[in-house]
Structure 1
Amino acid sequence: MITELWTKNNTITLRTSMSHIMKYKHLLKWKNSESILEVGCGDGTNAKQVILPILPKDYKEFHISDKEPNFVKYIERNVTIPKLKVFKQDVVEDEVPKELENRFDHIFGFFFLHMLMDPRKALVNIHKMLKPGGQTFFNFFEYTPINKIMQNMAIHPKWGKYEHKENAYCYHENPLEAYTQDFIAAGFKDAIYNTEKETWEFDEGPEWENLLVSVNSVLSELPESDKEEYIRDYVEYCRSVGPTKVKTADGKWIRKFDRNMFVVVANKT
């Protein structure tokens, strides 16, 4: 379910990632015979439409990983990229396999870091997997759009028993400073931090609701018998505390997100 919803409704995240990579790709320094990794790859759309077009033609290997098994299955059935290998394991929150240490020239992560409870652990692992002189490219939210929604679900009389995780710095006064310290602690002494103000607008309807449902990790823990009721309650919270409902000049109602995103290019010196 999550895979299908994300695949059908992630157009705006794809467009945002394309915008960021085009704006900051001049910061990426390529070598011959590159080894590439994308972490938290989702359905593989970013790999194919955002990363692949900017890769040098002589790249050696392209690896992608996601801890969601259904995403892995979807990619194996639907995504065709030359020299592609899909990891069926979490390479950022678990221990790094020995064969991946000092393996990659570039590691990408789109709409990924803000989803983690321990971004520092992930960055330590990413630093281990980079070759000396390798680079990372990340974009991630300052505060995710679902923070308030998850807070409400966490105290719901029926659904509160499930762990509604919020991102690591959802209550931090200065998330960029917190993330910066994580990059430094992981070993990235040379990094460029950029802030992009993003405004997303959706027609009043199911697209934005389905997008927010698709990034709810609790769904994968629920028994099938509860999912329909849970989604109904979750969507009600989305409508009440989610993106702002505004009326346009022509009298049309839309849902509007205003969020800062960070784009970070970090080097393993």
Structure 2
Amino acid sequence: MEMDYPQLYRQVAFLPKRDANIALREFSINHKWRENAFIVDFGSGDGSTTATVLEKHLPVCYNKIIGCDISAKMVEYANENYGTNKIEFIEWDITQEIPQHLRGAFDHAFSSYTLQRIKQQKHAFSNIYDSLKEGGSCLLLILGRYLVYDIFRSLSRTKKWAEDLKDVDIFISPYHDSQIWSRLSIHSVFSIRDGTDSWQIISS
């Protein structure tokens, strides 16, 4: 699912930025960023979170950040407004085959409120894993249970909104109905690629 209005997104993304800042601050306190690191931001959108939040938590010696997004308009806007010699944005759908040059290329992966919009969860997580170097880590912010989703579903059953919300489940997080996350609205996952084709979850 694409969002093609970067200027509008920039105006309304203050809450995701706040949460990303909190999670990154905690990550930086408890886990060490690698020197000369390559970092990838999955679902970088308009680029503002990548450049004004993520980068601020990195050591000055980081090598490069690559922001990936499915929307060509978002990528164009991000490069025009936030691209530098150390921050670059590329168009890529995380549910598609991972480009060869991104395999095992990154020391750290980051994603803020993107994964809950993706239905092909297994493929997305496999690509995140495959993008990391051995021992690389990732920080993922995922929207789990959210009251607004229940409101959308209720409205979709009314005569007034049925047509407009006929595809409501497309917009609902796959974790919304999970019993595991039944009491969580926001979930942060910290994990490390341990070289055994599996994730080592070190905090959540």
Shorter-normalised TM-score: what interval? 0.7 to 0.9
Contact 2:43 2:112 in 1 (8 A): yes
Give how far 1:171 is off.
1.7
Tell me the secondary structure at the aligned position of residue 175 of structure 1.
coil
| Alignment partner of 1:175 out of 174, 181, 190 | 181
Q: Which runs of 5+ in 1 are unaligned?
A: 177-196, 198-258
Q: Which runs of 5+ in 2 are unaligned?
A: 195-204
Find the aligned partners of 2:148 and 2:185 in 1 and give their Cα distance. 14
Find the aligned partners of 1:65 and 1:35 in 2 and give their Cα distance. 13
Find the aligned partners of 2:72 and 2:155 in 1 and give their Cα distance. 25
Counting only pairs closer than 5 Å after superposition, residues 19-38 of structure 1 correspond to structure 2 as 19-38=22-41
TM-score (norm 2): 0.80
Counting only pairs closer than 5 Å after superposition, residues 164-203 of structure 1 correspond to structure 2 as 164-165=169-170, 166-175=172-181
Please identify runs of 4+ aligned residues in structure 1 that moved more than 4 A.
Answer: 152-157, 160-164
Find the aligned partners of 2:70 and 2:123 in 1 and give their Cα distance. 15
User: Compared with structure 1, are the counterparts of its residues 84 and 150 closer, same or farther at alpha carbon in structure 2 (3 Å cutoff)?
Assistant: same
Aligned-residue CA RMSD (Å): 2.3
Find the aligned partners of 1:72 and 1:28 in 2 and give their Cα distance. 29
| Alignment partner of 2:68 out of 53, 65, 68 | 65
User: Compared with structure 1, are the counterparts of its residues 125 and 153 closer, same or farther at alpha carbon in structure 2 (3 Å cutoff)?
Assistant: farther
| Alignment partner of 1:126 out of 116, 125, 128 | 128
Which structure is higher in RCO with an 8 Å CA cutoff and minimum separation 6?
1
Residues 1:263 and 2:188 are matched in the alignment: yes
TM-score (norm 1): 0.62
Indicate the structure (1 or 2) with the bigger Cα radius of gyration. Answer: 1
Contact 1:63 1:87 in 2 (8 A): yes
1:159 aligned residue = 164
Tell me the secondary structure at the aligned position of residue 140 of structure 2.
strand
1:242 aligned residue = none
Counting helix residues as a fraction of each chain, which structure ranks higher? 1
